[in-house]
Amino acid sequence: MRVNVSGFDALKNENGSVRLALNAFTLTGTSNAFYPVLVNRGANNQFFALDTRCTHMGCVVPPFNATAGASVCPCHSSRFRIDGTVVPGSPATRALQSFPVSFDGVDLLCIEIATLGYTVSETSVQSGTGARVQLQFPTRTGVKYEVLFRQSLAGAGVVVPFATTIGGAATATVLTGNNAAATLFVDRTSDAGFYSIAVQVNPG
Q: Where along the sequence are the contacts to ligand FES (CB under 6 A)?
A: 54, 56-59, 73, 75-76, 78, 91-92
Closest CB 108 distance from ligand FES, rounded Å: 31
Q: Which is nearer to ligand FES, 17 or 78 (CB)?
A: 78
Q: Which is nearer to ligand FES, 56 or 132 (CB)?
A: 56
Q: How far apart are CA 144 and CA 29, in angstroms?
A: 18
Whether 166 and 125 have beta carbons less than 8 Å apart is answered as yes
- CB atoms < 10 A from the CB of 189, how many? 11
Q: Which is nearer to ligand FES, 60 or 184 (CB)?
A: 60
Closest CB 98 distance from ligand FES, rounded Å: 17
- Helix residue ranges per DSSP H, the chain: none
Q: Which is nearer to ligand FES, 10 or 57 (CB)?
A: 57
Q: How far apart are CA 45 and CA 105, in angstroms?
A: 7
Closest CB 35 distance from ligand FES, rounded Å: 12
Q: Which is nearer to ligand FES, 6 or 77 (CB)?
A: 77
- Distance (Å) of CA 70 to CA 66, 98, 131: 7, 16, 54
Q: How far apart are CA 190 and CA 134, in angstroms?
A: 15
User: 182 CB contacts (<8 Å, ≥6 apart)?
Assistant: 136, 137, 138, 139, 145, 175
Closest CB 74 distance from ligand FES, rounded Å: 8
Q: How far apart are CA 1 and CA 137, in angstroms?
A: 17
Closest CB 55 distance from ligand FES, rounded Å: 8
